[in-house]
A and B are shown apart, each in its own frame.
Chain A
Amino acid sequence: EVHLVESGGGLVKPGGSLRLSCAASGFTFSAYSMTWVRQAPGKGLEWVSSISSNGVYIYYADSVKGRFTVSKDNAKNSLYLQIHSLRVEDTSVYYCARIEYSNVFNYWGQGALVTVSS
């Protein structure tokens, strides 16, 4: 069974940094591209970043480019999102998800809440 578990969320002051992790199990992690999607409180879904199966190809939404860094450790079956220069508007639940061949997100984690507040 595919299982994705995010961790690393919490309360951070504006300007701070945070690293989110996504632990994967139940599938061959190295064979899949992965993605991060976030959702601000009471708002819709926003795609954040995606990374190819081997970590070579990386893509970011314009809203996070330059501040967010995605990485993938296939040996540890883990996906990461490093966030720098956090802003109040980055407050969201951050989900990791597995990308399928049709470029859709078939399996999702439960989400990690990041709150940016002074």
Chain B
Amino acid sequence: DIQMTQSPSTLSASVGDRVTVTCRASQSISSWLAWYQQKPGKAPKLLIYEASTLKSGVPFRFSGSGSGTEFTLTISSLQPDDFATYYCQHYSDNSWAFGQGTKVEFK
């Protein structure tokens, strides 16, 4: 099975900061990677799919990049609504896998 490893596990930042979260796959997964945002007590929300395609309605300050084994989620200017936990997710061979999550908290 392909393992997804996110870093960092926690990220302390301030409003206006540029924030980057990394997700590494144990083997090449082409561009089959998605990113989700989850707030406490709520269901996750899809932000980005196929590594870099922004879901309709998601603010443009969110972007995704990467291919192969290394992927990044970038928030260009952190807003108060962005403090949350972010997960990467991959699909292959009839199995889905999530990274362990990155919590973005107030510095």
Contact = CB atoms under 8 A, between A and B. Distances in A.
Contacts of A29: none
Of A37, A103, A104, A108, most B-chain CB atoms within 10 Å? A104
* Interface footprint category on B: 20 to 34
B2 to A, nearest CB: 12
6 contacts: A35-B96, A44-B101, A45-B38, A59-B94, A103-B91, A104-B34
B26 to A, nearest CB: 16
Interface of B: 1, 32, 34, 36, 38, 43-46, 49-50, 55, 87, 89, 91, 94-101
A47 B46 CA distance: 15
A95 interface: yes
B39 to A, nearest CB: 12
A102 interface: yes
A47 B100 contact: no
